[in-house]
Amino acid sequence: MFINQIKKEGVQDYIFSEFQLKSAIDFNNLFKLDSTSASVNFARKMNFIKEEEDIKEINRKAFLYEKLDKDDIMNRLELMEPNNMYVIHHSLAHKKLKETNPEVFKTEKWYNKEFGVEELTEEQIDKLKKIQIEDGVKMGNAPPNTFLPKKLELNKASELSGKPGKVFSDVNSEIYFKQDDQFDQPLVELRCKINTNDCDFPNTTESLLFSMMWVNMLNENHRELNYMASLAGIKSGISVASDHLLFTLSSYNNSVENFVSAFFKSL
């Protein structure tokens, strides 16, 4: 269904442009390694260098998005059809099937797991070839990524302090800020401590269990949001501490406010 929709929509220029921009940003902001780590890194990459002249691009090769070949991508998509694909299906229903038909199951060599193999019928293959998404279902290429950094600049404060300083305070919140005084990188780190007494948190065992369940549900709800954020180089997470909830984030400093805003709007 998803593959059929991608074939229908075709290759989108903006997706290639986003990958191209993000790769250039990542390459220009690579962290420096110590001599031992750098040597090991080079040695691993040498396995993938076929021509000696390519060695000069050994660091940049993984970040190159120089040309978009739409025909090649569409040709690869056309090869993705039920005739040359396989499906892995996990289900508790297989347990009953194994009990009633043990002869159809085989045992995997290394992990000693039982499995069965079944070929799709011509009718099933024909159905998969034609299947399309239902009306009202959103599926296909991702929308333009508003979390992607557009331009990176070092935002240096006029005076650098060795300790975080309070920059905002009211009855509900306090904000502390510290400018990096050691590394010149266009990056931002955020740690947000959320205090709450909802459901008597954190005074009872039930409230702690409920908070963990709430975090799992929130992460599931934010699956698409976090996916788009990861493509933009944003790493974030929320967890339960002993007496508070902790939200953490690390990212490039440009456009990160879009993600923070989207995150807390859906909190």
Domains of the chain, by residue range, sit at: 2-130, 165-265
Average pLDDT over residues 94-123: 86
Give the DSSP H or E segment for 188.
strand 187-194
Confidence of residue 160 (pLDDT cuts 50, 70, 90): low
Helix axes 256-265, 223-231, angle to 10 degrees: 170
- pLDDT at residue number 48: 80
pLDDT more than 90, % of the chain: 39
Residue 117 burial by Cβ neighbours in a 10 Å radius (0-12, 13-18, 19+): exposed
- pLDDT at residue number 159: 66
Q: Is the pLDDT of residue 13 over 90?
A: yes
Dihedral sign of CA atoms 220, 224, 228, 231 in order: positive
Average pLDDT over residues 182-209: 90
Q: Is the pLDDT of residue 57 over 70?
A: yes
CATH of 165-265, one of 1.10.540.10, 3.30.830.10, 3.40.50.1980, 3.30.450.20: 3.30.830.10
Q: Is the pLDDT of residue 158 over 70?
A: no
Q: Are 142 and 15 in contact (CB under 8 A)?
A: yes
For residue 165, CA distances in Å to 169, 241, 248 come to 11, 24, 19
For residues 21 and 147, what is the distance between their CA atoms, to the nearest angstrom? 12
Q: Are 25 and 149 in contact (CB under 8 A)?
A: yes
pTM: 0.76
State which of 28-32, 122-126, 188-192 shows the largest mean pLDDT: 188-192
Q: pLDDT, tens digit, for every residue of 82-93?
A: 888 877 888 888
CATH of 2-130, one of 3.10.110.10, 3.30.830.10, 3.40.50.11810, 3.40.50.2300: 3.30.830.10
Contacts 24+ apart (CB under 8 A), 59-65: 59/27, 59/30, 60/27, 63/23, 63/24, 63/26, 63/27, 64/23, 65/16, 65/19, 65/20, 65/23
